[in-house]
Structure 1
Amino acid sequence: MATELLNGFGKVYLTIDYDQANHWVYNNWIGYQTYTGIISGADACLLPLQQQACAYLLNDNRQVLGPWDHAVEWIVTDWGVRAAAQGLTHFAHVVSPDSLAAQSAKAMLLGLEGRLHLRMFSDMDQAQAWLREAQQQVVNQ
């Protein structure tokens, strides 16, 4: 069952769902993202990752409006450290390529480099294929 987080206006800004068939957590971020909303949402997605012993995150920013540079440093120095420590290894980040959110995602990618396997995609099918390939490599080891 998906978790929905609401902003101050009572609108859903994030849904978090564990996809049992694919064994990954799917985050769908929607609209403008505040610093406190990003912290609450990112922290909330750690719970299903931990509960399911899941190493794979599919983060969808295609519906995000505007940049979220204000939270990149926190994601890199706080959230990313905790996520990796609890077992997250692969992070597929889907964006609209020409969006301001994509620029924020590039900064995050650079900051998390070396800590997680993180790739940015403009196509959901490609992101899912990358996660499946990573899962298959673990199975084949």
Structure 2
Amino acid sequence: MKISKHTDLRDGSSCELEFDEGEGWLRAIWLGYVDPMEAYNGAENFLKAMQDLHCPYLLNDNSKLSGPWFDSVEWLRSVWVPRAVHLGLRYIAHVVQPHDLLDEAANTDAYAFDDQLRLQLFDDVPSAEEWLREMRVKQQV
């Protein structure tokens, strides 16, 4: 079920948020060159959706991004994560841009996210999906 899609008319970049009812998780798909304001807006739109859904699982797909991702890990850690955890988020499968896996891993490891939130980095969507399925199974046991 599509929740929202915001497209920048200047360059076609976008952030799409959907709820995968069959899998039971939210999926954010980022496409193109996303500037910092678009990134903040996409993150805020996720929080708005969480007010109704309270879904513990997010697949954040950056595999189709071009250019640098916004550099505000500190904002994510200090502002976004506490709000997301409060709304029920517990697991993030984050698919990075293919060429940024090591840089992004270093940046996120440098900041401890909330101990109630587990973040796992992936270089492909199928691996991220499999991990989220494993986390769902663990929660059901």
**Residues 92 and 121, structure 1, Cα contact 8 Å, conserved in 2:** yes
What's the secondary structure of 1:68's corresponding residue?
Answer: coil
CA contact (8 A) 1:69 1:104 kept: no
CA distance in 2, matches of 1:27, 1:112: 22
- Which sections of structure 1, spanning at least 5 residues, go unmatched? none
- 2:28–2:59 Cα contact (<8 Å) kept: yes
Deviations 1:49-92 (A, max 9, x none): 33122000000000111222432221121111111111100000
TM-aligned CA distance change 1:135 to 1:110, over 3 Å: farther
Per-residue Cα deviation, 1:105-137 (whole angstroms, up to 9, x for no partner): 642354243431000001211111111111111
CA RMSD in angstroms comes to 2.1
The number of aligned residues is: 139
- Unaligned 5+ runs, structure 2: none
CA distance, structure 1, for counterparts of residue 69 and residue 120 of structure 2? 18
1:107 aligns with 2:107: yes
Indicate the SS of the match to 1:77: helix
Q: How many angstroms does 1:103 deviate by? A: 2.5
CA distance in 1, matches of 2:17, 2:8: 14
Partner of 2:19: 18
CA distance in 2, matches of 1:112, 1:58: 19
Q: Which residue of 1 aligns with 2:43?
A: 42
**AA at the equivalent of 1:87:** G
Aligned residue type for 2:86: A
State the match for 2:85 in structure 1: 84
